[in-house]
């Protein structure tokens, strides 16, 4: 630490020196005409260029110097020569530090060693670095610092920056896919008077003017369904949701979801839609149907496997969870009833323990127990089940969909039963139930976890690697 402090002291002394010489350390504007990647491909010798970026290395050899300049697209060598710049500017170039942001004007050429290079004819210091860049970024050895100082991670780690560039392209591609199929993008409230659409613990805030509690949304579902009632047949929202629950490599309290609804469709239509969407993204962004994900290799070739909830659970656990007492079965397999006392929680935990670890290649789990999904339509052939599926890939739950319940009487009854299970704190959204009484068309609904989809398509095994600023424990 003492050595770093000494280097920082020297850096601050240099800044004072530059200021005393009248050097502007933070310029207002510099308009590049090219990105570095565009200069490299195709490379045109003797072309005059104007670029900007961060200086990452420098080698001074008497009255000439080489450095590497990096922007958001690529890196290129720059060449400073005393005879070209003159004494004053060449001395300034020697005083620059790694991490300084520069504007460069010059001419492209290739060195004797075949290095594509810009010969500097003029440069300006656009932003002076004060801190010291790490000599070598240690990746997983310094993973906590990567998340806390994401800006530093992005400067030093091209792979990390590439993940977020691919994330942006993926979301653009999702919008294009849905827009081409007649969906319209909408926005629904992030602060809601009643948290609904998912069984989750919400974050609570207080609105001073309204003198009322509001809840950060756990899901946009009930508002999007109101739009179906209002006459929009195909709607989607790429939305931020907030759930006041655990943090892990799979969960962040603030996360991004794609949620969409299509009138006159059902969960079979949603199954085909999500399969086509994900397959399109894999082909467009990854150019391969087989992708690595951690220790696995995932095959996205269609059609994807389909298994029934109870059948898969029976096969993997050796017990028939449709028969007998769920609490007795839970005790047999070691599910603690002090943590999982309700039937729905027992079933979800059993499925998570026995079935999910085997779901590596894309798999649709269908025909869920009705008690797990109060907003889904019951199966006509078996009213104890609902027309619902969840898509699992790489042992991650990626998507959830069902044929939407549009019977206002049954919907009220099932939400009341859920309220009895959860307790008196659960408040019914009477306006949503009132909306259903005006008639909601039959519809299919689908939710896809965007963060997890990015994980799969970038081979990132922690959700923190695909969220720019993940939630972390406070530093001590």
Q: What angle do CA 259, 262, 267 make, to 5 degrees?
A: 85
CATH number of 153-304+361-465: 3.30.930.10
3-state DSSP assignment of residue 1: coil
Q: Quote the pLDDT of residue 240.
A: 96
d(CA 74, CA 365) in angstroms, rounded, equals 43
Q: Quote the pLDDT of residue 460.
A: 97
What does the DSSP assignment read for 219-257? -SHHHHHHHHHHT-SEEEEEEEEE--S--SSS--SEEEE
**pLDDT truncated to tens, each residue of the chain (476 aa)?**
455 678 889 889 999 999 998 999 999 889 999 999 999 999 999 999 999 999 999 999 999 999 999 999 999 999 999 999 999 999 999 999 999 999 999 999 999 999 999 999 999 999 999 998 887 655 445 788 889 999 999 999 999 999 999 999 999 999 999 999 999 999 999 999 999 888 889 999 999 999 999 999 999 999 999 999 999 999 999 999 999 998 999 999 999 999 999 999 999 999 999 999 999 999 999 999 999 999 999 999 999 999 999 999 999 999 999 988 999 999 999 999 999 989 999 999 999 999 999 999 999 999 999 999 999 999 999 999 999 999 999 999 999 999 999 999 999 999 998 877 766 567 899 999 999 999 999 999 999 999 999 999 999 999 999 999 999 988 87
Q: Quote the pLDDT of residue 422.
A: 64
CATH number of 2-127: 2.40.50.140
d(CA 342, CA 419) in angstroms, rounded, equals 13
**Two tokens at 399?**
């998507």
Rg (CA), the chain: 28
3-state DSSP assignment of residue 42: coil
Give the bridge partners for 170, in sequence order: none
Q: Quote the pLDDT of residue 476.
A: 73
d(CA 205, CA 216) in angstroms, rounded, equals 8
Please state the φ and ψ torsions of residue 45, each to the nearest 5 degrees.
-60, 145
**Two tokens at 231?**
């006459």
Q: Quote the pLDDT of residue 144.
A: 83
d(CA 75, CA 69) in angstroms, rounded, equals 6
Give the bridge partners for 298, in sequence order: 291
With a CB cutoff of 8 Å and minimum separation 6, the contacts of 62 are none
**Two tokens at 423?**
């307790």
Q: Do residues 215 and 223 touch, judged by C-beta distance below 8 A?
A: no
Q: Quote the pLDDT of residue 419.
A: 77
- pTM of the model as a whole: 0.92
Strands 116-127 and 75-81: parallel
Q: Do residues 81 and 8 touch, judged by C-beta distance below 8 A?
A: no
Q: Quote the pLDDT of residue 424.
A: 52
Q: Quote the pLDDT of residue 2.
A: 53
d(CA 460, CA 454) in angstroms, rounded, equals 8
Q: Quote the pLDDT of residue 446.
A: 98
Q: Do residues 415 and 432 touch, judged by C-beta distance below 8 A?
A: no
Q: Quote the pLDDT of residue 140.
A: 44
d(CA 204, CA 288) in angstroms, rounded, equals 44
Give the bridge partners for 236, in sequence order: 185, 260
E-state strands within 329-379: 363-369
d(CA 158, CA 285) in angstroms, rounded, equals 18
**Two tokens at 326?**
């769920």
How many C-beta neighbours within 10 Å does residue 10 have? 12
Residue 232: C-alpha distances to residues 3, 57, 265, 346 (Å) = 64, 56, 13, 38
Q: Quote the pLDDT of residue 473.
A: 87
**Two tokens at 473?**
């424990």
Q: Quote the pLDDT of residue 242.
A: 96
Q: Quote the pLDDT of residue 442.
A: 98
Q: Do residues 385 and 370 touch, judged by C-beta distance below 8 A?
A: yes
With a CB cutoff of 8 Å and minimum separation 6, the contacts of 370 are 376, 378, 383, 384, 385, 386
Q: Do residues 218 and 195 touch, judged by C-beta distance below 8 A?
A: yes
Domains of the chain by residue range: 2-127, 153-304+361-465
Strands 116-127 and 184-185: unpaired
**Two tokens at 158?**
């091209």
E-state strands within 167-320: 184-185, 191-192, 204-207, 212-216, 234-242, 254-263, 290-293, 296-299, 305-308
Q: Which of 397, 377, 414 is nearest to 266 (CA)?
A: 377
């Amino acid at each position: 630490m003492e050595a770093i402090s000494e280097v920082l002291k020297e850096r601050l002394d240099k800044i004072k020196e530059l200021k005393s010489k009248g050097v502007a350390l933070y310029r207002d504007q510099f308009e590049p005409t090219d990105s570095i990647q565009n200069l490299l491909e195709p490379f045109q010798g003797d072309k005059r260029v104007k670029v900007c970026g961060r200086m990452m290395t420098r080698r001074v050899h008497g009255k000439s110097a080489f450095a590497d300049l990096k922007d958001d697209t690529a890196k290129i060598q720059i060449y400073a020569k005393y005879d070209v710049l003159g004494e004053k500017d060449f001395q300034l170039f020697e005083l620059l530090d790694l991490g300084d942001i520069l504007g460069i004007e010059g001419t492209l050429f290739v060195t004797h060693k075949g290095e594509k290079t810009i010969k500097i004819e003029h440069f300006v210091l656009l932003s002076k670095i004060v801190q010291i860049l790490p000599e070598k970024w240690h990746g997983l050895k310094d993973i906590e610092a990567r998340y806390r100082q994401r800006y530093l991670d992005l400067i030093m780690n091209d792979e990390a920056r590439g993940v977020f560039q691919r994330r942006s392209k993926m979301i653009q591609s999702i919008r294009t896919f849905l827009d081409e199929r007649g969906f319209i993008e909408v926005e629904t409230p992030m602060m809601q008077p009643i948290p609904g659409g998912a069984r989750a613990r919400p974050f609570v805030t207080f609105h001073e003017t309204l003198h009322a509690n509001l809840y950060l949304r756990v899901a946009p579902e009930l508002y999007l369904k109101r739009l179906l009632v209002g006459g929009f047949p195909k709607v989607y929202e790429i939305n931020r949701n907030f759930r006041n629950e655990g943090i892990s490599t799979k969960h962040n309290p603030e996360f991004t979801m794609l949620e969409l609804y299509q009138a006159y469709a059902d969960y079979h239509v949603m199954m085909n839609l999500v399969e086509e969407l994900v397959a399109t993204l894999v082909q467009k962004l990854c150019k391969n149907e087989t992708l690595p994900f951690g220790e696995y290799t995932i095959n996205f070739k269609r059609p994807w496997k389909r298994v029934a909830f109870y059948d898969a659970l029976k096969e993997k656990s050796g017990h028939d969870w449709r028969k007998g007492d769920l609490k007795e079965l839970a005790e047999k397999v070691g599910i603690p009833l002090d943590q999982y006392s309700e039937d729905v929680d027992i079933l979800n935990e059993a499925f998570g323990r026995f079935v999910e670890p085997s779901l590596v290649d894309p798999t649709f789990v269908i025909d869920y127990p009705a008690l797990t999904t109060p907003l889904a339509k019951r199966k006509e052939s078996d009213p104890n089940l609902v027309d619902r599926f969840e898509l699992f890939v790489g042992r991650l739950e990626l998507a959830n969909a069902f044929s939407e319940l549009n019977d206002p009487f049954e919907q009220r009854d099932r939400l009341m039963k859920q309220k009895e299970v959860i307790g008196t704190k659960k408040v019914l959204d009477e306006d949503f139930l009132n909306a259903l009484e005006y008639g909601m068309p039959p519809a299919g609904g689908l939710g896809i976890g965007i963060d997890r989809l990015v994980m799969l398509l970038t081979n990132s095994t922690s959700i923190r690697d695909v969220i720019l600023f993940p939630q972390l424990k406070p530093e001590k």
